[in-house]
């Protein structure tokens, strides 16, 4: 157990290639305008709240310590238990005023931060639609030109510095789209359409997770967001528009035939092949993604073997059934999937 | 103290209704591989000459019949695999109605599963290469619920979509007696 | 009427005749009344207590046990049952913490873990937090107010049985693999018919109904008792702060609980059972309707839990600082304004749902402003400590622990009230840390303190002081070790309700620390329970007023006799026992041959009516069984409702049949 954890701790950042691996899923990532403003506001709140807390503790300690020295306190023993120090009454009013002013200040700071975030979130140049499913993310890059719309799953690429609008829909239950290093969360609610705008500022790889309990495997519904320079982003998009490469070796051909004629095609879509199911994630460029099964594990040949062979043991309850392939079928299928870069 | 015990006994009596709970609520996610005996060969009795004693019920039936998660998953598969395209939401169209009490190839869960897996004449495709046997059994469980055959506490009342007829929990056994609703 | 007067009577005009007849009747009644035995100067001491005991004691045996209407017995049952559920839910929490102690742990699978956190939350919120507060209040309020019984004692008994049956139903369902597994508030459409097959969600929804009915009944009992059954002279201004807290809490329950009963029983269960479309967007419903209605209850719910705890703190601070709480009227106003304001905050649980931003600003402002009254209360307690001479025995330690802990929780709440901050922190472990700080720090710490404080009154023995102090420190240190790292975990990206998390996010260490702390906390809680059990047999015998406290419950023996007080006390200040120089004035005149209590006016508490108190009765238990069976059966079939109304109706008619009311309540003749 411990050795596996150590190996995973080591492998995960390697495979996901994140440079700041402590902060690729954290509020301190500060990788987008929204998260930076969150952090600024958070420290303001912490300062004010910390100050108030210190006042309370000082008052408490003073009351405790003072009691040891007070010889003639207003207590029942001296018969003065119904009296109170008049200074205390004025302090009460001062305390109320202080709390009121402090809270008003914090509320105003909050409103200003909110407006500032809203102002930064204008002029979106890119529109992505994310549809939440149990337990994966259906991602579609929208475009006015129909030939440029592209569908992928569980991974987003964003161009740095470009305001991006993400439209949020749900195919089944309520989910929540949350990439802490970039932005606050927003729920995906069936029957409603929400949206958020992200303006990424740092290049890197970030991880997000569903943040509204959505069923058995809510804990394993993650996504990867890659922020890259604009040129790389366009290159990636163009590549995603290509259909799946044709199989070249006998093994991959056998895998291709199995995948397109068997159970896989009933749920999955692989561009340019007969497999055109829309129930599950799009697999056209599966092998180029960094994670598998919505962030459950890093993309690798071994993990592909495990996932295709028996998804129920890796993510129990997931909608993808365990098919139970023969060993040579499994080799062929995985070999073919590996070509889907 | 003894009255505390009596209160518990009372509660247990109330829960006696629910003793079947374990099976009803159990999720069977570790599915049987497709290669295993898909329920083939479960030919319905009516087409054997002279009739015969009914074939024994497949032992997997009790995992799926009256199993609430199985019926719910079957409901989702029913629309995802486009069964509604021919069967609508049980009322039938190009395909026969599923909510009546006429079963051309048998209405037991293993017989329905066989029909789905093997395909049937006049247009029912064979699904055994496209779906695992676990998925087929779940669909069969759901199809049975369309005509009110499983117990009412295992079915869900409706789906999250546009309303399509009587809520499942209120469907009585064999909703539509007339078997010719398919021919509209 | 004698013959001599007959002729005179006929000669009178009709109106005079009527008046004469009435006066003759009055003279007859007065003569009869003179024969009734009442407590008073003539009947006191042992003869009085023997007769009162015979009148107020319930019948022996099982039937009597089930039929009791004694508020002390019902209060004890509430407390013990709630503590039982607390221990069960705590064990679930320990299992959860073990699972989360290391990343990618496989100790508990996803489904089982989801059941664990749902059972933990539902048990703690519905079966522990509110019932224990009501149980303590049901026990102590009549004693604190100087009366012999609560109002509506049979309703009180009914409320306990409904609560017990609801809790049993939930936990039996857990054993039968039908536990709810969608959290303690099960959002639609996940909890709707399509995505939550089977009956486990219905079990949760009906458990809420049971506990809601029980809480409503207990709230009505408490509010009426507090308003009408106080001792003469206990004006609202002189009423103890705990009674004020329970009054506000009771009114809050009456307004808030119907919302959750509605959304679970009238909206969610019909959606699941008979195919209504309340939460189905495709047919004109809205998934968010559930959230609005649930949180309209859910937010006041946490103040329903918190306000009695503030009452506890006021009680302890008064006794242990040897003076009444500073600025009594400010505290009362703070209680009332917290109660009112808390109904306007609920959307802060829904900041991520995409509702209009303008509306959110209102709820941010309201959520922040609700902390002002609480901040005032804290100042008043601290000022009492400053001005008084605190003795740091175990209850006072818990009060200090409360202040240190709860204020942190309140401040993280202020952080969460800001929309931009909440959008990052919502549904993460930051929120889990926040609400445990306010619930454990703000409600459980005062509760443990008040148990130690009122334990001598309830049992007649003192809890062990040393064990209590060790227990306090274990609980305090364990609590902070467990829940402080959660704020950090939330900011590092760990969402709520996850059965595991991946390695490499920096979550390993905080989770490990948190798990270790949980066991320390569990040990402290165990020590507290052990202290409670051992002290029953070995604790020092307590007199009527071991803490030298000021309020009326300490004017009677420990434990109190079944009739509470020999004579009803009269109150002339807000600290009656401190201001009466050892001899408390009393009023006399209540009957000793029948159960009777004195009702007073609402504000000035002048004696008003002598109200007969019902005898022990099995009908509350039978009604609770009937209603309980209807609720449980309606999970499976809608027909249970119309058919079930018949036995319920019969039971309720039998209960309310006026057989006990041989006479009407009599006005007080001064």
Contact A164, A128 (CB under 8 A): yes
Report the mean per-residue pLDDT for chain A.
Answer: 88
Residue of chain A with shortest Cα separation from B33 = A324
Same domain, A62 and A142: no
What pLDDT is recorded for position B44? 47
* C430-450: pLDDT as tens digits: 999 999 999 999 999 999 999
Q: Which of A328-332, B161-165, C215-219, C379-383 is least confident?
A: B161-165
> Which range marks the domain in which residue A263 is found?
250-338
Number of structural domains found in chain C: 2
Is the pLDDT at B13 greater than 70, yes or no? no
Q: Is residue C631 part of a domain?
A: no
CA A148/CA A202 separation, integer angstroms:
26
**Nearest CB to A324; choose among B35, B81, B131:** B35
Which of A263, A280, A281, A309 would best serve as a mutation to test chain B binding (most B beta carbons within 10 A)?
A: A263
In percent, the amount of chain A with pLDDT more than 70 equals: 91
Who wins on pLDDT, A24 or C71? C71
What pLDDT is recorded for position B101? 82
**Nearest CB to C415; choose among A5, A9, A45:** A45
Is the pLDDT at C606 greater than 70, yes or no? yes
How sure is the predictor about A19, in pLDDT bands with cuts at 50, 70 and 90?
Answer: very low
Going from the C-alpha of B55 to that of each of B40, B48, B51, B105, B150, the distances in angstroms are 12, 12, 11, 13, 20
Which of B1, B11, B22, B66 would best serve as a mutation to test chain C binding (most C beta carbons within 10 A)?
A: B11
Q: Is residue A17 part of a domain?
A: no
CA of B28 vs chain A CAs: smallest distance (Å): 9
Q: What share of chain C is helix, strand, coil (3-state, %, to 5)?
A: 65, 5, 30
Is the pLDDT at C594 greater than 90, yes or no? no
Contact C365, C329 (CB under 8 A): no
As a whole number, mean pLDDT of residues C361-389 equals 94
Is the pLDDT at A292 greater than 70, yes or no? yes
How sure is the predictor about B17, in pLDDT bands with cuts at 50, 70 and 90?
Answer: very low
What pLDDT is recorded for position B174? 54
CA A254/CA A252 separation, integer angstroms:
5
What pLDDT is recorded for position B158? 83
What pLDDT is recorded for position B47? 47
CA of C511 vs chain B CAs: smallest distance (Å): 30
Contacts of C184 in chain A (CB under 8 A): none
Is the pLDDT at B184 greater than 50, yes or no? no
As a whole number, mean pLDDT of residues B52-57 equals 67
> Which range marks the domain in which residue C307 is found?
61-538
Q: Do A261 and B33 touch (CB under 8 A)?
A: no
Residue of chain B with shortest Cα separation from A317 = B29
Is the pLDDT at B164 greater than 90, yes or no? no
* Global confidence as pTM: 0.90
> Angle, to 10 degrees, between the axis of helix C371-387 and the axis of helix A86-120?
150
* C284-330: pLDDT as tens digits: 999 999 999 999 999 999 999 999 999 999 999 999 999 999 999 99
Q: Is residue A14 part of a domain?
A: no
CA A308/CA C492 separation, integer angstroms:
31
Single out the residue in A194, A217, A241 at which a domain terminates.
A241
Q: Is residue A329 part of a domain?
A: yes
Burial class (CB in 10 A: 0-12, 13-18, 19+), C15: exposed
Q: Is some CB atom of chain B closer than 8 A to the CB atom of A215? A: no
Contacts of A194 in chain C (CB under 8 A): 353-354
Q: Provide the 10 A C-beta neighbour count for residue C558.
A: 21
What pLDDT is recorded for position C525? 96
Task: Please report all neighbours of C, defined by 3+ CB atom pairs within 8 A.
Answer: A, B
Q: Do C502 and A178 touch (CB under 8 A)?
A: no
Is the pLDDT at C522 greater than 70, yes or no? yes
Residue of chain A with shortest Cα separation from C487 = A27
As a whole number, mean pLDDT of residues A148-157 equals 94
Residue of chain A with shortest Cα separation from B27 = A317
Residue of chain A with shortest Cα separation from B81 = A266
What pLDDT is recorded for position C297? 96
What pLDDT is recorded for position C593? 86
Same domain, A193 and A280: no
Q: Do C388 and A103 touch (CB under 8 A)?
A: no
Is the pLDDT at C4 greater than 90, yes or no? no
Label the pairing between strands C586-587 and C596-600: unpaired
Which of B20, B157, B163, B170 would best serve as a mutation to test chain C binding (most C beta carbons within 10 A)?
A: B157
Arch. (CATH architecture) of B36-182: Orthogonal Bundle (1.10)
Q: Is residue A323 part of a domain?
A: yes
What pLDDT is recorded for position C22? 86
**Nearest CB to A77; choose among C322, C379, C420:** C322
What pLDDT is recorded for position B7? 47
What pLDDT is recorded for position B53? 61
Who wins on pLDDT, B83 or C40? B83
Contacts of C161 in chain B (CB under 8 A): 7
Closest CA to A59 of A36, A86, A88: A88
Is the pLDDT at C263 greater than 70, yes or no? yes
In percent, the amount of chain C with pLDDT more than 70 equals: 96
CA C21/CA A51 separation, integer angstroms:
78
Give the DSSP letter of residue C129: I
Q: Do B34 and A323 touch (CB under 8 A)?
A: yes
Is the pLDDT at C488 greater than 50, yes or no? yes
Q: Do B131 and A190 touch (CB under 8 A)?
A: no
* C379-408: pLDDT as tens digits: 999 999 988 888 999 999 999 999 999 999
CA C627/CA C618 separation, integer angstroms:
14
Give the residue carrying structure tokens 């995992």.
B63
What pLDDT is recorded for position C666? 64
Q: Is residue C629 part of a domain?
A: no
Going from the C-alpha of C336 to that of each of B26, C38, C245, C252, C376, the distances in angstroms are 48, 39, 8, 10, 12
As a whole number, mean pLDDT of residues A81-102 equals 91
Who wins on pLDDT, A3 or C210? C210
In percent, the amount of chain C with pLDDT more than 90 equals: 81
Sorted by where each begins, the domain ranges of chain B are 36-182
Which of B28, B33, B36 would best serve as a mutation to test chain A binding (most A beta carbons within 10 A)?
A: B33
How sure is the predictor about B6, in pLDDT bands with cuts at 50, 70 and 90?
Answer: very low
Same domain, C399 and C467: yes
Closest CA to A212 of C354, C127, C285: C354
Same domain, A148 and A203: yes
Closest CA to C147 of C556, C667, C582, C668: C556
Is the pLDDT at C39 greater than 80, yes or no? no
Residue of chain A with shortest Cα separation from C504 = A9
Q: Is residue A161 part of a domain?
A: yes
Report the mean per-residue pLDDT for chain C.
Answer: 92
CA C610/CA B144 separation, integer angstroms:
66
Contacts of C166 in chain B (CB under 8 A): none
Same domain, A260 and A317: yes
Q: How many CB pairs under 8 A join A and C?
A: 284
What pLDDT is recorded for position C527? 96
Walk across the sheet containing C666-667 and list its strands. Answer: C596-600, C607-612, C666-667
How sure is the predictor about C5, in pLDDT bands with cuts at 50, 70 and 90?
Answer: low
**Nearest CB to B15; choose among C66, C176, C637:** C176
Burial class (CB in 10 A: 0-12, 13-18, 19+), B168: buried
What pLDDT is recorded for position A11? 43
What pLDDT is recorded for position C582? 76
Q: Which of B101-105, C345-349, C399-403, C455-459 is least confident?
A: B101-105
As a whole number, mean pLDDT of residues C616-643 equals 93
ipTM of the complex: 0.91
Same domain, A151 and A98: no
Label the pairing between strands A150-153 and A136-141: antiparallel
Residue A281, both tokens: 């994630």
Is the pLDDT at A9 greater than 60, yes or no? no
Structural Rg of chain C based on CA atoms: 27
Same domain, C286 and C405: yes
How sure is the predictor about B45, in pLDDT bands with cuts at 50, 70 and 90?
Answer: very low
Q: Do A321 and B27 touch (CB under 8 A)?
A: no
Who wins on pLDDT, B168 or C535? C535
Who wins on pLDDT, A222 or B129? A222
Contacts of A174 in chain C (CB under 8 A): 187, 189-190, 287
Same domain, A219 and A263: no
Domain CATH code at residue C153: 1.20.210.10
Which of C110, C434, C502 would best serve as a mutation to test chain A binding (most A beta carbons within 10 A)?
A: C502
Is the pLDDT at B175 greater than 70, yes or no? no
Is the pLDDT at B179 greater than 80, yes or no? no
Same domain, A217 and A277: no
Is C413 in a helix, a strand, or coil? helix
What pLDDT is recorded for position A68? 62
Q: Is some CB atom of chain B closer than 8 A to the CB atom of A314? A: no
CA atoms within a 13 Å half-sphere pointing along the CA-CB vector of C297: 25
Residue A215, both tokens: 């069923």
Is the pLDDT at C110 greater than 80, yes or no? yes
CA A26/CA C424 separation, integer angstroms:
10
Same domain, C22 and C68: no
CA B114/CA B36 separation, integer angstroms:
13
Q: Is residue C580 part of a domain?
A: no
Domain CATH code at residue A173: 2.60.40.420
């Amino acid at each position: 157990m411990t050795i596996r954890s150590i190996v995973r701790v080591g492998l995960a950042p390697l495979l996901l290639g994140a440079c700041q691996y402590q902060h690729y899923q954290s509020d301190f990532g500060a990788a987008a305008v929204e998260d930076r403003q969150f952090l600024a506001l958070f420290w303001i709140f912490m300062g004010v709240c910390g100050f108030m807390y210190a006042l309370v503790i000082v008052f408490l300690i003073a009351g405790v310590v003072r009691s040891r020295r007070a010889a003639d306190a207003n207590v029942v023993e001296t018969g003065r238990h119904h009296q109170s120090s008049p200074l205390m009454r004025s302090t009460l009013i001062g305390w109320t005023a202080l709390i009121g002013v402090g809270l008003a200040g914090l509320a105003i700071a909050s409103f200003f931060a909110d407006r500032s975030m809203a102002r930064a979130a204008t002029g979106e140049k890119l529109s992505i639609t994310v549809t939440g499913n149990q337990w994966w993310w259906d991602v579609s890059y929208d475009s006015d030109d129909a030939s440029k719309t592209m569908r992928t799953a569980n991974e987003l690429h964003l161009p740095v510095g470009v305001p991006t609008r993400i439209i949020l829909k749900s195919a089944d239950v309520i989910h929540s789209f949350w990439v802490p290093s970039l932005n606050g969360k927003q729920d995906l609610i069936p029957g409603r359409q929400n949206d958020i705008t992200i303006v990424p500022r740092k290049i890197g790889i970030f991880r997000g997770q569903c943040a509204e309990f959505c069923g058995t495997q809510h804990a394993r519904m993650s996504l990867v967001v890659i922020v890259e320079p604009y040129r790389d982003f366009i290159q990636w998009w163009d590549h995603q528009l290509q259909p799946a490469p044709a199989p070249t070796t006998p093994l991959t051909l056998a895998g291709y035939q199995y995948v397109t004629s068997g159970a896989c095609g009933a749920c999955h879509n692989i561009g340019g092949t007969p497999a055109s199911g829309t129930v599950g994630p799009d697999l056209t460029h599966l092998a180029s993604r960094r994670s598998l099964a919505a962030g459950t594990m890093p993309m690798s040949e071994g993990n592909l073997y495990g996932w295709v062979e028996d998804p129920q043991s890796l993510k129990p309850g997931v909608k993808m059934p365990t098919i139970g392939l023969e060993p040579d079928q499994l080799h062929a299928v995985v070999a073919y999937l590996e070509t889907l870069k | 103290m003894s009255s505390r015990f009596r209160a518990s006994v009372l509660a247990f009596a109330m829960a006696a209704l629910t003793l079947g709970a374990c099976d009803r609520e159990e999720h069977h996610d570790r599915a049987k591989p497709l290669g295993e005996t898909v329920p083939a060969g479960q030919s319905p009795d009516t087409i054997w000459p002279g009739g015969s004693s009914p074939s024994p019920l497949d032992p997997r039936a009790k995992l799926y019949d009256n199993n609430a998660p199985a019926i719910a998953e079957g409901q989702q598969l029913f629309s995802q695999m486009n069964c509604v395209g021919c069967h609508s939401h049980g009322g039938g169209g190009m395909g026969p109605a599923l909510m009546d009490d006429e079963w051309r190839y048998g209405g037991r869960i293993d017989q329905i599963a066989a029909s789905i897996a093997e395909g049937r004449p006049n247009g029912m495709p064979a699904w055994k290469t496209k779906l695992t046997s676990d998925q087929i059994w779940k669909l069969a469980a759901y199809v049975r619920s369309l005509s009110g055959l499983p117990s009412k506490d295992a079915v869900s009342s409706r789906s999250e979509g546009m309303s399509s007829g009587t809520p499942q929990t209120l469907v009585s056994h064999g909703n539509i007696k007339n078997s010719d609703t398919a021919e509209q | 009427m004698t013959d001599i007067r007959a002729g005179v009577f006929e000669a009178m005009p009709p109106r005079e005749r009527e008046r004469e007849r009435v006066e003759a009747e009055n003279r007859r009644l007065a003569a009869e009344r003179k024969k009734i035995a009442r407590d008073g100067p003539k009947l006191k001491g042992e003869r009085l207590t023997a007769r009162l005991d015979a009148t107020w004691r319930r019948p022996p045996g099982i039937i009597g046990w089930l039929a009791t209407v004694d508020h002390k017995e019902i209060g004890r049952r509430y407390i013990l049952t709630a503590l039982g559920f607390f221990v069960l839910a705590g064990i679930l929490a320990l299992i959860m913490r073990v699972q989360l102690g290391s990343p990618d742990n496989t100790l508990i699978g996803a489904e089982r873990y989801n059941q664990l956190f749902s059972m933990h939350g539902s048990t703690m919120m519905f079966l522990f937090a509110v019932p224990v507060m009501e149980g303590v209040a049901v026990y102590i309020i009549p004693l604190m107010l100087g009366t012999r019984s609560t109002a509506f004692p049979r309703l009180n008994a009914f409320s306990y049985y409904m609560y017990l049956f609801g809790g049993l139903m939930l936990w039996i369902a857990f054993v039968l693999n039908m536990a709810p597994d969608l959290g303690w508030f099960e959002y639609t459409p996940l909890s709707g018919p399509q995505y939550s097959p089977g009956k486990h969600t219905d079990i949760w929804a009906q458990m809420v109904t049971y506990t809601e009915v029980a809480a409503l009944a207990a709230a009505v009992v408490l509010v009426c008792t507090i308003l009408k059954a106080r001792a003469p002279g206990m004006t609202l201004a002189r009423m103890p702060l705990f009674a004020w807290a329970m009054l506000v809490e009771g009114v809050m329950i009456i307004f808030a609980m119907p919302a959750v009963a509605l959304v679970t029983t009238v909206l969610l269960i019909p959606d699941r059972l008979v195919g209504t479309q309340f939460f189905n967007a495709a047919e004109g419903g809205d998934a968010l309707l559930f959230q609005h209605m649930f949180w309209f209850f859910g937010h006041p719910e946490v103040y329903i839990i918190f306000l009695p705890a503030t009452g506890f703190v006021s009680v302890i601070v008064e006794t242990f600082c040897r003076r009444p709480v500073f600025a009594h009227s400010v505290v009362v106003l703070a209680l009332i304004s917290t109660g009112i304001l808390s109904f306007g905050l609920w959307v802060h649980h829904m900041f991520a749902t995409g509702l209009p931003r303008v509306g959110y600003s209102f709820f941010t402002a309201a959520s922040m402003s609700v902390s002002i009254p609480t901040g005032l209360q804290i100042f008043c307690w601290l000022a009492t400590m400053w001005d008084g001479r605190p003795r740091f025995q175990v209850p006072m330690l818990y009060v200090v622990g409360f202040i240190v802990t709860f204020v942190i929780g309140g401040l993280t709440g202020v952080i969460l009230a800001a929309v931009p901050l909440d959008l990052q922190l919502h549904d993460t472990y930051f929120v889990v840390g926040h609400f445990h700080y306010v619930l454990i720090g703000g409600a459980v710490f005062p509760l443990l303190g008040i148990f130690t404080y009122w334990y001598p009154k309830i049992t007649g023995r003192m809890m062990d002081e040393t064990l209590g102090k060790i227990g306090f420190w274990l609980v305090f240190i364990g609590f902070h070790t467990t829940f402080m790292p959660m704020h950090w975990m939330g900011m590092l990206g760990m969402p709520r309700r996850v059965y595991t998390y991946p390695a490499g996010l920096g979550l390993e260490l905080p989770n490990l620390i948190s798990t270790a702390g949980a066991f320390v906390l569990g040990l402290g809680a165990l020590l507290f329970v052990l202290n409670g059990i051992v002290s029953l047999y070995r604790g020092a015998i307590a007199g009527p007023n071991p803490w030298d406290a000021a309020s009326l419950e300490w004017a009677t023996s420990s434990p109190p006799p079944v009739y509470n007080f020999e004579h009803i006390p009269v109150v002339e200040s807000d600290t009656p026992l401190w201001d009466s120089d050892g001899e408390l004035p009393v009023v006399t005149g209540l009957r000793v041959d029948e159960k009777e209590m004195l009702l007073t006016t609402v504000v000035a508490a002048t004696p008003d009516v002598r109200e007969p108190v019902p005898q022990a009765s099995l009908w509350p238990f039978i009604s609770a069984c009937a209603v309980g069976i209807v609720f449980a059966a309606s999970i499976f079939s809608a027909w249970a409702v119309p058919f079930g109304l018949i036995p319920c109706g019969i039971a309720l008619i039998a209960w309310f049949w006026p057989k006990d009311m041989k006479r009407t309540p009599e006005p007080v003749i001064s």
